[in-house]
A = this chain, B = another copy of it.
Amino acid sequence: MITLTSDFGSPYPAAMKGVIRRHTDAELIDVAHDLPRGDPRAAAFWLRFVLPEFPPAVHCAVIDPGVGTDRDALVVRAGAHVIVAPDNGLAMPPARALAGDESDVEAWTVAVEDPASKTFHGRDVFAPTAARVRTALDDATGESGADSLDADLVAETLAGMDDLTPASDPVDVRFPEPTVERAEESEEGGDAEDGEVLAVDGEVLAIDRFGNVITNVPGELVRGRDWVRVNGDLTPVAETFGAVDPGERLVTVGSHGYAECDVNDGRGDGAFDLRPGDSVRFVPDSVSL
């Protein structure tokens, strides 16, 4: 199996599939081709969410604002999974999620011949590399498209590929952890109980195609509350969009486990005026300002 991810729209990914079909019959599964354009950070977020659902596979992910520059092409092993991607950080967060343990992630740079195109390395570099890796793994397991891979076999196979060189320092994307402010014993005069959350300073990780604002604030910090202040504005917390009227704002916990700023039947990014990377402060309704 080879999964494919890009910001290419259509019909460019089909060219990648054609190239792969010249090398291998491995099954092709599209993850997405409409990810935010030229945004490796958003791609890292979404791939970290989706790829761990798959059994071991080769994942080819091309969100590549640096195409045409001298950025490297990477092959990253994460447990028994392999990610083929430009060296711009997008591969590392999903690799850590796939491996579970950071020590089970290793990266190689790909020796790239001068490609046919300066602007379509998806077709000319990444698709052929994914196909070569897939073929090497199939040869190693003796099965075509076999996904019964283990990490040791994958590591050994990649180490044996002539065009791969261990990568010394691949670009990485780190998603920030939110800062959680809690009531302390020593605090005087406050109404809050010890350990109670007073505020969470987080950040917007991504906006999905519906305009839902995905933050890095863990869902458990808002779940079960009725109201929360989002950057000062009191907002209802609900499990489903239908809990508020169409056009009204709410905070939910998305399927990725993070708090989201949403609008029922509308766009949260506009209503909350939030963009990826923006700061977002959650203050429980129960905390006196």
Interface residues of A (CB under 8 A from B): 1, 3, 5, 9-12, 14-19, 21-22, 28-35, 37-38, 46, 49-55, 57, 65-69, 117-120, 123, 147, 208-210, 239-242, 252-255, 257
Contacts and interface: CB of A to CB of B under 8 A. Distances in A.
B10 A32 contact: yes
Contacts of A37: 210
A11 B15 CA distance: 20
Given A18-B53, A118-B240, 13 more contacts: A9-B209, A10-B32, A10-B34, A11-B35, A15-B53, A16-B53, A17-B54, A65-B240, A66-B240, A68-B239, A117-B255, A119-B253, A123-B255
A209 B252 contact: no
A123 B15 contact: no
Given A18-B55, A22-B55, A119-B252, A50 B11 contact: yes
The 6 closest A-B pairs by CB, nearest first: A120-B255, A18-B53, A11-B32, A18-B54, A10-B32, A14-B31
Nearest to A37: B210
A19 B53 contact: yes
B1 A14 contact: no
Nearest to A20: B53
Contact of A18 (B16, B50, B66): B50
A243 to B, nearest CB: 9
Contacts of A239: 68, 118-119
A154 to B, nearest CB: 17
A116 to B, nearest CB: 8
A112 to B, nearest CB: 16
Contact of A147 (B14, B21, B240): B21
A123 B18 contact: no
Contacts of A53: 14-19, 22, 123
Contact of A242 (B30, B65, B253): B65
A210 B9 contact: yes
B14 A30 contact: yes
A257 B117 CA distance: 8
A59 B54 CA distance: 20
Contact of A21 (B1, B208, B209, B242): B1
